[in-house]
């Protein structure tokens, strides 16, 4: 039986006229990799960091998790809407989702409020249960 697939997306938006690669940053931030490491083994995981490569909406992932900060909220809402229009279940999280859950909730099927470390595995099981 095929494992359900989760695509974890860490959003990035280049707000300056420079290439998205910054030599002073040796690697993208870690939230996506941390979530992947906490994801139960029953789920196949792919991590996409927008600083590294663009989002591909024709993914075979069943579930999408989007991590974003405040200045990325409009972009997060657009990304979530595109995936939801394709029938994907989309979960939002990050600092902005935690501090403004009422604003964020309408754009996602579910949101994670607070630190993921204590609740992420259960959140994944809840996604699988519908």
pTM, two decimals, is 0.87
In tens digits, the chain (130 residues) has pLDDT values of: 789 999 999 988 655 555 555 555 556 667 788 889 889 999 999 999 887 888 999 999 999 999 998 889 999 999 999 999 999 999 999 889 999 999 999 999 999 998 888 888 888 888 888 7
- Spell out the domain ranges in the chain: 5-129
Q: What are phi and psi of 63, to 5 degrees?
A: -130, 145
Q: Are 106 and 94 in contact (CB under 8 A)?
A: no
Give the architecture-level CATH label for domain 5-129.
3-Layer(aba) Sandwich (3.40)
pLDDT at 117: 83
Tokens describing residue 54: 């663009």
């Amino acid at each position: 039986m095929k494992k359900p697939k989760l695509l974890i997306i860490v959003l990035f938006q280049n707000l300056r006229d420079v290439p998205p690669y910054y030599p002073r940053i040796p690697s993208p931030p870690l939230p996506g990799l941390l979530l992947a490491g906490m994801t139960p083994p029953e789920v196949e995981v792919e991590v996409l960091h927008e600083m590294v490569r663009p989002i591909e909406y024709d993914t075979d992932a069943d579930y999408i998790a989007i991590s974003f900060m405040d200045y990325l909220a409009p972009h997060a809402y657009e990304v979530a809407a595109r995936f939801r229009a394709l029938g994907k279940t989309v979960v939002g999280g990050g600092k902005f989702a935690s501090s403004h859950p009422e604003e964020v909730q309408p754009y996602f099927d579910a949101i994670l409020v607070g630190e993921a470390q204590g609740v992420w595995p259960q959140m994944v099981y809840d996604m699988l249960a519908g």
